[in-house]
A and B are shown apart, each in its own frame.
Chain A
Amino acid sequence: MSSGPRPVEAALISVRVLFEKSGGERYGLTLQAFELVLEQVAAKYHPGAGQRQKLEFWRDLKLEELALARACAAGHDTAWQAFLTRFREKLYDIARGITKEDSSGRDLADSLYADLYGTSERDGRRVSRLNFYMGRGSLEGWLRTVLAQEFVNRYRKTKRLVSLEEQAEDGVQFSAAEPGPAGPIDSRLGAAVDEALGQLEPEERLVLASYYLDNRTLTEIGRMIGVHESTISRRLEKLLKGLRKQVIAGLVSRGMNRVQAEEALEADVRYLQLDVTKKLQENRSAAFQQNKGSD
């Protein structure tokens, strides 16, 4: 007969190993509390996963930082000391980097501190925002994302409060009316472009959208995806060439000859009936209302 541990015991042993690896004990976290946290994370990202899958998933988490964040959320002083030592100055730096200004950066970081500590109460318990950290990425990266999100929310709030004087200064009242739909363009062109775009990989679409719609620099796009800016430059060039070929092929397959297809590609974009700015603004408001609710 085998004398090895039974599956449940083996799982417990593994959770204990993960707990030791996280160093949660020095932040005042217990094994049981840590296990609950792990189960919560697994339930969010891998609902219904088996014990083995969960263990593999947990192993890839930033366990040390997860333990630190959850110990802070639970109000352990040792954890807060460690957190402040590691992230206090970093948070201010990140906030300054996002706002590009010292005082508003400090203000932004301070407001996040309040949220992290937990100023609101639910069922008589303090609710800390650190409870939402799941350990999939680094704690610093998470704080950075949360700060960026907070900054965008603030910006949107203040943007809504525009006085009439400011509107007058901006000349909103005197702006020309939106032009109506211009003359029709060959529908085959739009269909060919859409078809070519639809065949792109997600990463290629992301690069194109970041470059053409968001006006991001090559460096910024490179940082987002994790590659060098020169790679992005090469990819963009290659993408455009490939797309052009595909669109021309699409137009030819739709009954145009090659010369007509080339001419169609030089069509004035003003004839296309789309309002990019309006479209983006619509998406933005919907997205951030949703995002705000999720945290």
Chain B
Amino acid sequence: MAEFSNMLRQRLAATQDGARVHPDADTLTAFSEQLLPGAERQQVMAHLAACAPCRELLALSQSETPAAVLQPVFKPAPVSSWRRFFTPAMGLGAAVAGIALTAVLVLHSPQKPALQQPEPSLDAKAPVLDQKPVTEAKASPAPDQSAASESQPAVSAKPAPPAVSAGLAGMPRGKDRVENRTLAASVAPARVSGNISPANNALPGSQAAAAPPVLAAELKKSDFVNTSLFANDGVVADWDGRSASPPATQAQASATRFVANANTQFPGFSDIPPAPAGDKSHIRMLPSAPPDSTEHYSLVRKIERSARSAFGKATAPAINSNTLSFSAMGGTGTFSADLQKGQPIEAASAPAKSEASALEQSDALSARSMSARRRLGSSVVPSGWKVVDGTLMKDIGQSWEDAYPASVGKFEFTFVQSHGGDVWAGGTQAMLIHSRDAGATWENVKLGDTASGSIVNVLFGGNRVQVKTSDDQAWSSSDGGKTWSLQPAEK
């Protein structure tokens, strides 16, 4: 084959005709950016194939990180149905199901001690239970457990079978469950669990500020708060089983936050690059919901819920690319200084309000948003978005269709970013639109009066949105796009 390659090389060189007329810089640029119409592109391609100098020029003028090759819309990689059975979530789901089964049996047989060996018929599940202490030892250090228990004065401790009941009651309720919460539930058993009455749900702001045996004591400059971990798809259930937006519940939840070292291994967190040795940074996660006060759930129902939460979104990454890009506003792979430093202050100064009110004011997880998500669950969800020739296109399965025909003649789209049903698209003249329901309805988003240029980037996670324009303006909003502020230009 080597000789054949050499021969090809020789004969190809003979086809180099040294053309007299070369495409100009504009045409080469348009070719490089794939903006030429088909016939003209073929012409330029034919010229390039025969003209070494133009190839050299084209190669030299290529960007190191071309935008054309990067995909602005991230899609989960297709996974075959068989591969799903071998994901870590499968093992996790089996473990949770085993824990649930054992827990219910233990709870319903009061005459036996909690740590008694399970029934002979359940011997097959015993190895799964045996693995649990290993998980605990890895994920939750002992000081955190004590700190968490001290910071919950309103909790009426129910120590009897804590390790198992937390795993059970922490299971998410509601339709929009994600792996993250199953994960939180599975690592939660080390904490003190118990029943929390609705009256005790709201922790005062002062308590949240004073809570930090877990927070401030552990939080160093290299720490970062993974606020968007649950913000995109992850819905955090409050004590009543309803949804709550993570920002609204940070102050309260911080009191019981679970602190895991960055090196802690979580199944499904394949997006997170492994921390280098000696890295002291931490990921703080919201705790699982406390145990359910009602114990009349049937065995079948609980197992069904556990299994559904484990298998429902087995392929969804715990942290998606959007989350990472949002966190990387301050630089590639790092969290911005504002996010690093501002978070404890934010947690301390959060108003003391009940989680119910936080829920009502939460925009990201409003009734409309939730209903949109429910709709998405049953209807066709566009799996991809792109901008072609200034037109916003969405993938409807077999083909692409214009997703926003109203833009024709008014402005051109330049950028689109989506995650689930949340879609942000921007165009010329700082035009920005947002859809919460995968493009079924759109709302115009008005940046500040001084906004100019074309939208070149939109980063979002939860209620935080940052928009960059071609005029080097950076607009940010922390309320889902209702109000915007212009960020000072980067030096």
Binding site for B on A (CB under 8 A): 17, 21, 23, 60, 64, 82, 85-86, 94, 97-98, 132-138, 141-142, 144-149, 151-152, 189-190, 193-194, 197, 202-203, 205-206, 208-210, 212-214, 216, 220, 222-224, 226-228, 240, 243-244, 247, 265-269, 272, 274, 276, 279-280, 282-284, 286-288, 290-291, 294-295
Chain B residue contacts of A136, Cβ below 8 A: 26-27, 29-30, 35-36
Nearest A-chain residue to B63, judged by Cβ = A144
Nearest B-chain residue to A267, judged by Cβ = B3
> Contact check: which of B5, B12, B69 meets A226 at CB < 8 Å?
B69
Chain B residue contacts of A193, Cβ below 8 A: 7-8, 11
> Contact check: which of A64, A142, A144, A288 meets B26 at CB < 8 Å?
A142
Chain A residue contacts of B64, Cβ below 8 A: 97
Interface assignment of B68: CB less than 8 Å from any CB of chain A: yes
> Contact check: which of B3, B48, B50, B54 meets A269 at CB < 8 Å?
B3
Binding site for A on B (CB under 8 A): 1, 3-22, 24-36, 42, 45-46, 48-64, 66, 68-69, 389, 409, 411-412, 428-429, 452-454, 470-472
Known: A141-B30, A145-B28, A266-B4. 5 other contacts (CB 8 A): A97-B63, A136-B27, A197-B11, A224-B58, A266-B3
Report yes or no: B471 in contact with A208, Cβ–Cβ below 8 A. Answer: no
Report yes or no: A214 in contact with B35, Cβ–Cβ below 8 A. Answer: no
Q: Please report the C-alpha to C-alpha distance between residue A86 and residue B36 in the assembled complex, in whole angstroms.
A: 25
Q: Please report the C-alpha to C-alpha distance between residue A117 and residue B209 in the assembled complex, in whole angstroms.
A: 58
Chain A residue contacts of B15, Cβ below 8 A: 197, 205, 209
Report yes or no: B57 in contact with A294, Cβ–Cβ below 8 A. Answer: no
Chain B residue contacts of A206, Cβ below 8 A: 45, 48-49, 55
Report yes or no: A213 in contact with B56, Cβ–Cβ below 8 A. Answer: no
Report yes or no: A137 in contact with B58, Cβ–Cβ below 8 A. Answer: no
Rounded to whole Å, the gap between the CB of A141 and the closest CB of chain B is: 4
Please give me the 10 A-B residue pairs with the lowest Cβ-Cβ distance, nearest first: A137-B29, A287-B53, A205-B49, A269-B6, A148-B60, A283-B18, A202-B46, A141-B29, A202-B45, A137-B30
A60 touching B35 in the complex, CB below 8 Å, given contacts A144-B63, A208-B8, A209-B49: yes
Q: Please report the C-alpha to C-alpha distance between residue A233 and residue B7 in the assembled complex, in whole angstroms.
A: 20
A64 touching B3 in the complex, CB below 8 Å, given contacts A136-B26, A194-B11, A212-B8: no
Rounded to whole Å, the gap between the CB of B66 and the closest CB of chain A is: 5
Report yes or no: B60 in contact with A151, Cβ–Cβ below 8 A. Answer: yes
Report yes or no: A212 in contact with B56, Cβ–Cβ below 8 A. Answer: no
User: How many residue-residue contacts, CB under 8 A, span A and B?
Assistant: 222
Report yes or no: B32 in contact with A141, Cβ–Cβ below 8 A. Answer: yes
Report yes or no: A135 in contact with B3, Cβ–Cβ below 8 A. Answer: no
Nearest A-chain residue to B29, judged by Cβ = A137
Nearest A-chain residue to B42, judged by Cβ = A202
Nearest A-chain residue to B3, judged by Cβ = A266
Report yes or no: A144 in contact with B10, Cβ–Cβ below 8 A. Answer: no
A226 touching B51 in the complex, CB below 8 Å, given contacts A141-B32, A267-B3, A286-B20: no
Report yes or no: B10 in contact with A276, Cβ–Cβ below 8 A. Answer: yes
A82 touching B471 in the complex, CB below 8 Å, given contacts A17-B409, A141-B33: yes
Chain A residue contacts of B25, Cβ below 8 A: 132, 142, 145-146, 149, 295
A224 touching B4 in the complex, CB below 8 Å, given contacts A194-B11, A197-B15: no
Report yes or no: A60 in contact with B4, Cβ–Cβ below 8 A. Answer: no
Q: Please report the C-alpha to C-alpha distance between residue A136 and residue B300 in the assembled complex, in whole angstroms.
A: 64
> Contact check: which of A82, A228, A240, A279 meets B1 at CB < 8 Å?
A240
Chain B residue contacts of A189, Cβ below 8 A: 7
Report yes or no: B472 in contact with A86, Cβ–Cβ below 8 A. Answer: yes
Report yes or no: B10 in contact with A269, Cβ–Cβ below 8 A. Answer: yes
Q: Please report the C-alpha to C-alpha distance between residue A190 and residue B36 in the assembled complex, in whole angstroms.
A: 35
Chain B residue contacts of A220, Cβ below 8 A: 59, 62
Report yes or no: B62 in contact with A223, Cβ–Cβ below 8 A. Answer: yes
Q: Please report the C-alpha to C-alpha distance between residue A154 and residue B420 in the assembled complex, in whole angstroms.
A: 51
Nearest B-chain residue to A282, judged by Cβ = B18
Identify which of B5, B45, B53, B61 gathers the most chain A CB atoms within 10 Å of its CB. Answer: B61
Report yes or no: B61 in contact with A148, Cβ–Cβ below 8 A. Answer: yes
Report yes or no: A148 in contact with B26, Cβ–Cβ below 8 A. Answer: no
Report yes or no: A145 in contact with B69, Cβ–Cβ below 8 A. Answer: no
Report yes or no: A60 in contact with B389, Cβ–Cβ below 8 A. Answer: yes
Name 25 A/B residue pairs within 8 A (Cβ), A-sorted.
A60-B389, A134-B26, A136-B36, A137-B30, A138-B33, A145-B58, A146-B25, A148-B61, A206-B48, A208-B12, A209-B49, A209-B55, A212-B9, A212-B12, A213-B9, A213-B16, A213-B52, A214-B55, A226-B34, A227-B69, A247-B4, A269-B9, A280-B16, A283-B17, A295-B25
Q: Please report the C-alpha to C-alpha distance between residue A129 and residue B54 in the assembled complex, in whole angstroms.
A: 20
Rounded to whole Å, the gap between the CB of A257 and the closest CB of chain B is: 18
Report yes or no: B53 in contact with A288, Cβ–Cβ below 8 A. Answer: yes
Report yes or no: B55 in contact with A212, Cβ–Cβ below 8 A. Answer: no
Rounded to whole Å, the gap between the CB of A58 and the closest CB of chain B is: 13
Chain B residue contacts of A276, Cβ below 8 A: 9-10, 13
Report yes or no: A197 in contact with B12, Cβ–Cβ below 8 A. Answer: yes
Q: Please report the C-alpha to C-alpha distance between residue A282 and residue B57 in the assembled complex, in whole angstroms.
A: 16
Report yes or no: A240 in contact with B59, Cβ–Cβ below 8 A. Answer: no
Chain A residue contacts of B24, Cβ below 8 A: 132, 134, 294-295
Chain A residue contacts of B21, Cβ below 8 A: 290
Rounded to whole Å, the gap between the CB of A109 and the closest CB of chain B is: 14
Chain B residue contacts of A151, Cβ below 8 A: 60
A240 touching B26 in the complex, CB below 8 Å, given contacts A279-B16, A287-B18: no
Report yes or no: A137 in contact with B26, Cβ–Cβ below 8 A. Answer: yes
Chain B residue contacts of A287, Cβ below 8 A: 18-19, 22, 51-54
Report yes or no: B7 in contact with A240, Cβ–Cβ below 8 A. Answer: no
Chain B residue contacts of A149, Cβ below 8 A: 25, 57, 61
